[in-house]
């Protein structure tokens, strides 16, 4: 399984951060490649989302499901069609404000987007590739795009949730 983990600090209480993250259909506003989100359910366990992505010469709809929630700390999800992938949004309240916190900050949370996926599970014809384009070529081109996209989404979520633009310190881990 490959992993992408993006972590940053948000200067709001956990319940406000969680409520924002739970409103998944708005994520299409943050992504260059996510064109729209169709939600079936109330956002809790069992809620399904159809996420229509478009990148390069590929268009694909990912179907995901919320598997567990622990408000205001965690939202777990998994992909339910074609690809083996799962992950979560995590929120952890910080005891102390970081030294570089904005002057008006009263509280802070560490927010983490954790994604685990097996790109080889799409090999069986899930993706309709252009003629003469190999699956391995697409996977190698797509991995850095996924990291950039996860980073972009977290940066834009922070700006929207805090209601202001600021330099966002992100820790991005990618395995392998």
**74 in a domain, yes or no?**
yes
Structurally, the chain folds into a number of domains equal to 1
Show the domain range for 120. Answer: 2-22+70-175
**110 in a domain, yes or no?**
yes
pLDDT at residue number 129: 52
Question: Could you list the pLDDT tens digit for every one of the 176 residues in the chain?
Answer: 888 898 999 999 999 999 989 988 887 788 888 889 999 999 999 999 998 888 776 777 889 999 999 999 999 999 998 778 999 999 999 999 999 999 999 999 999 999 998 877 655 555 555 555 555 655 566 667 767 887 788 888 888 989 888 888 878 787 77
pLDDT at residue number 90: 97
Q: Are 104 and 164 in contact (CB under 8 A)?
A: no
pLDDT at residue number 165: 83
**156 in a domain, yes or no?**
yes
Three-state DSSP string of the chain: CEEEEEEEEECCCHHHHHHHHHCHHHHHHCCCCEEEEEEECCCCCCCEEEEEEEECCEEEEEEEEEEEEECCCEEEEEECCCCEEEEEEEEEECCCCCCCCCCCCCCCEEEEEEEEEEHHHHCCCCCCCCCCCCHHHHHHHHHHHHHHHHHHHHHHHHHHHHCCCCCCCCEEEEEC
**163 in a domain, yes or no?**
yes
**141 in a domain, yes or no?**
yes
**49 in a domain, yes or no?**
no
pLDDT at residue number 103: 92
**130 in a domain, yes or no?**
yes
**28 in a domain, yes or no?**
no
pLDDT at residue number 8: 92
* Measured CA angle at 49 (ends 47, 83), to 5 deg: 110
pLDDT at residue number 173: 84
CATH number at residue 118: 3.30.530
pTM equals 0.82
């Amino acid at each position: 399984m490959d992993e992408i983990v993006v972590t940053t600090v948000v200067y709001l209480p956990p319940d406000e951060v969680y409520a924002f993250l739970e409103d998944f259909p708005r994520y299409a506003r943050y992504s260059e490649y996510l064109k729209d989100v169709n939600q079936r359910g109330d956002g809790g366990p069992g809620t399904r989302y159809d996420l229509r992505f478009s990148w390069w010469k590929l268009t694909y709809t990912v179907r995901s499901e919320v598997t567990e929630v622990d408000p205001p700390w965690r939202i777990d999800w998994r992909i339910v069609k074609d690809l083996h992938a799962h992950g979560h949004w995590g929120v952890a309240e910080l005891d102390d404000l970081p030294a570089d916190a904005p002057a008006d900050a009263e509280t802070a949370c560490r927010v983490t987007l954790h994604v685990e996926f097996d790109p080889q599970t799409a090999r069986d014809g899930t993706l309709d590739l252009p003629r003469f384009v190999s699956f391995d070529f697409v996977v190698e081109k797509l991995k850095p795009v996924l990291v950039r996209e996860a980073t972009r989404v977290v940066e834009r979520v922070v700006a929207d949730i805090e209601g202001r633009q600021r330099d966002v310190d992100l820790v991005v881990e990618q395995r392998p």
